[in-house]
Amino acid sequence: MSAPSLRIGLAGLGVVGATLAKRLLSGAVSGAVLTAVSARDANRDRGIDLSGLEFVADATTLAQSDNVDVVVELIGGSNGAALNLVRAAVAAGKPVITANKAMLAEHADELSLATTPISYEAAIAGGIPIVKTLREGLVGNNILALGGILNGTCNYILTRMEEAGLSFDDALAEAQAAGFAEADPTLDISGADAAQKLILLGALAFDVRPDINKWSVLGIEHITARDIALAQEFSYVIRLVAIASCRDNQIYMQVAPMLVRQGSALAQIKRETNAVFIEAEPVGRLILQGAGAGGGATASAVLADIADMVAGRGRSLFAHPTKDMRESPADGVMSAPDRMWYLRLMLTNKAGSIAQITQILAENGVSVKEVVQRSQHGDDNRLPIGFITDKASAQAIMQVGAALQARDDICSDIVHLPLYDDD
């Protein structure tokens, strides 16, 4: 006699939810059956027949339903209905599957105490099975570093600026028209979305308590077409890169636009694609890439979590409650290893200015490796200049930036971006 099917209650019938419902109704996961759904509009045509399912307006009702064994939360948002549903499911002793990285990152302290499984493969890098890779595929390995390109919206914008010479605003508008950016793109372009994913990965890989306030997060809003062009002249491209590493028992995490060497693996990741690298001992270096968002990729990850639940492989949020995990260091980006940097500034075109700039760099212990200077644009008598430095500390670069910004011959904010070390 076969075991009874696991009954799934699904909250959220947007693009991902509708794709998931269609797959479950077609029998995609043996031993799982969709029995109940919740959405704001019961009558909306989603291209699937939901008439045989229990439909509830209040998502939290799924947690109390006798017809639901596992709750799938695809509502979104760090609080509100999504959090209420997850809390209700945990209180009812029902496992949860979610794609909601914002909720997990913000409420990790609470949710790590749950005694029921909480699965979230879909919360990080879409269809790339990074959670399963860390928890199962690399068991016994010592994770040294991980990260990569974790936000498809930013990657789309930056690569379209690179490919077509678009301005940031035009590339963002194109991404919104193509459905790769939200009407309000702040969460993505600020770097916060990638940071939420990174701190969850850091908790899995390094047992570090998630705390987004302890780490350096820089978005792409200030990247201009000039930066893209200067980077190309230095034989680099710009990508929003998330990095977490553990060296000599010191943890470091950062999200920032970085110059990535042309021809490297990360430089080949275009548009909405995501890529995650892992450096571990003894396996070495791995790179996983694939669709980072979208109905198909995200639904695929949720289906994998459902299959694990059917097989009895549900897990708690992390290996330990956050109260038993190591704390993030308080100095954020200042704990970063020395690295090369890109500096960009607009300088008034007058004799001796460039020599004075390089003198400021030298006074702060920063040496220049390469310089690109462009002739003035129009009649504004300004020179765009890009520098690549030798390796320097973040503190030294901040001091350089402050000293330069105080000068009256600097015509714009100083842009300083780290170079991604792919050695």
Task: For 396-408, give the DSSP string.
Answer: HHHHHHHHHHTST
Task: Kindly list the distances between the CA atom of residue 372 and the CA atoms of 163, 166, 259, in Å, as whole numbers in the listed order.
Answer: 21, 21, 15
Q: Which two tokens stand for residue 219?
A: 């978005």
Contact 232, 133 (CB under 8 A): no
Task: Kindly list the distances between the CA atom of residue 307 and the CA atoms of 24, 30, 70, 92, 251, in Å, as whole numbers in the listed order.
Answer: 11, 8, 12, 21, 33
For 82, the enclosing helix (H) or strand (E) is helix 80-91
**Residue from 134, 133, 71 nearest 97 by CA:** 71
Q: Is 417 exposed, middle or buried (0-12, 13-18, 19+ CB in 10 A)?
A: buried
Residue 38: count other Cβ atoms within 10 Å of its Cβ: 27
**Residue from 150, 136, 138 nearest 289 by CA:** 150
Contact 260, 236 (CB under 8 A): yes
For 25, the enclosing helix (H) or strand (E) is helix 15-25
The values of phi and psi at residue 402, to 5°, are -65, -40
Q: Is 212 exposed, middle or buried (0-12, 13-18, 19+ CB in 10 A)?
A: middle
C-alpha span between 356 and 371 (Å, rounded)? 14
Q: Where are the beta strands (DSSP E) in 15-53?
A: 32-38
C-alpha span between 374 and 392 (Å, rounded)? 25
Residue 105: count other Cβ atoms within 10 Å of its Cβ: 23
Question: What does the DSSP 8-state code read for residue 15?
Answer: H
Q: Is 394 left (phi over 0), alpha (psi -120 to 50) or beta?
A: alpha
197 a catalytic residue: yes
Place of tokens 């669709």: 291
Task: Tell me which of 22, 94, 101, 197 is the catalytic residue.
Answer: 197
Residues in the chain: 423
Q: What residues are annotated to the active site?
A: 197
